[in-house]
Amino acid sequence: MVKRISVVENIFSANDRLAAENRAMLDQNGVFSLNLMASPGAGKTSLIEHTVTSLAGLFQLAVIDGDIATSLDADRAAAAGAVAIQINTGGDCHLDAVMLNQALVKLNMENIDLLIVENVGNLICPASFQLGTHKNVLIASIPEGDDKPYKYPSMYKGVDALVINKIDLLPYVDFNMNYFREGINILNPAVEIFPLSCRSHEGLDAWLNWIQNIIQPQEQPD
Amino acid sequence: MVKRISVVENIFSANDRLAAENRAMLDQNGVFSLNLMASPGAGKTSLIEHTVTSLAGLFQLAVIDGDIATSLDADRAAAAGAVAIQINTGGDCHLDAVMLNQALVKLNMENIDLLIVENVGNLICPASFQLGTHKNVLIASIPEGDDKPYKYPSMYKGVDALVINKIDLLPYVDFNMNYFREGINILNPAVEIFPLSCRSHEGLDAWLNWIQNIIQPQEQPD
């Protein structure tokens, strides 16, 4: 058992070292970066599409897509107007700092203002691997249910922002927003919360404003 | 690299050996068993509640609930009328044959006809760990999106039955059933498919009939 724990600790510490290197590379190039995490189907790619389409006139955007198979998500990000790089994890259930590093070296970062990293669809494993990105963002979605903060506490604890997607489905599912928010408040009272719908576009402006206010744009648009 | 592969192979082979032991224990006791897998929030616990409530008059049911935290799901299964055992994986993203074995020895299997194992909410890792159960069942859900078979092929390939839950939400989301079914047909043409809604109860009968027809009941109900 001692051996196993020590191996696991070494993996995390090696990952954290490389995450720090990734952060340094991003900072040197003036790239602000988001690590977007969620369950399968919560709306990561849809939110990226809207974000890229809305901010493409203001910033140069890049998307790095982690998936266990296919390039469907990277194709959608590219179609929306971002520089898109696909990472196929070959079955791995999360991105780690090594995978992000391999993608970053392919990216011409000098020209990029905002990098969105789309993690693998999974509410558990990605929470354990820092990538070196500036902000961790979780997308919850209404049909997933209001008990998710209680059942996946590590994920909810470790994020800087929480998007609550698919609020247009609230009338059609049993979702107690107070119960959901109580769970968040216990785990992560300082998290920024953005209820929105990628389908109806309600609430998207607050999310986009948050990103714009964080990025220090190198050139102010007229 | 060779070393790493050999460690991984040893883990899977040890797991498979214990899965075979689990299966033998279940068979000796005449317990038919399902391994229920899905994304977070697809409806595993809701389907278990309906299944337990509907079949409790015909069979003795037990539920083993795998979760990374809380006993919320086991509580719901027990409230519905099953013998319920909780496994908290302590952060692990899937159940394995060892964890199931530890739960099985706590169960008085002589009295049980049907055991439902609720795996951890995750579309990736549970696909790699056989538990020894008789049938693997995946619950997809409509709001997760129609691209999931393409993006999570290992999970869709390895299951005997597929429940498509939340069909009551079809009018409110963009979901192309033909595209979804094409993906399933490529990966797993023989899978049994049950479109249903735990909320509206539509389609539940076909699912319940499938279970009843598979179990060889020790005593026929009058």
pLDDT along chain A (222 residues), means of 10: 57 88 96 97 96 94 91 90 91 93 93 95 94 98 97 95 98 97 97 98 97 72 52
* Domains along chain A with CATH numbers: 13-212 (3.40.50.300)
The residue among B3, B122, B198 with the most chain A CBs within 10 A of its CB, best to mutate, is: B122
User: What residues contact residue B71 under an 8 Å CB cut-off, 6+ apart?
Assistant: B65, B86, B88
Instruction: Give the DSSP letter of residue A158.
Output: T
Q: Which of residues 176-205 of A touch B (CB under 8 A)?
A: 199
Please tell me if residue B126 touches chain A, with a CB cutoff of 8 Å. Answer: no
Please report the ipTM that was assigned to this predicted complex.
0.88
Q: Which of residues 17-76 of B touch A (CB under 8 A)?
A: 39-41, 67-70, 72-73
> How does DSSP assign B60-76, residue by residue?
-EEEEEEESS-SHHHHH
B102: how many CB neighbours lie within 10 A of its CB? 12
Closest alpha carbon within chain A to B174? A199
Q: Which of residues 148-167 of B touch A (CB under 8 A)?
A: 148, 150-154, 166
Report pLDDT for A13: 85
The Cβ-side half-sphere exposure at B2, using a 13 Å CA radius, reads 0
Inter-chain CB proximity B169 and A169 less than 8 Å: yes
CA distances from A42 to A27, A37, A209, B142 (A): 29, 9, 21, 11
Give the residue from A123, A134, A64 showing the smallest Cα distance to A99: A64
Report pLDDT for A90: 82
Name residues of chain B where pLDDT drops below 50: 1-2, 217-218
Which residues in chain A touch residue B125, judged by CB atoms under 8 angstroms apart? 93, 124-125
Report pLDDT for B83: 93
A152: how many CB neighbours lie within 10 A of its CB? 28
pTM, two decimals, is 0.91
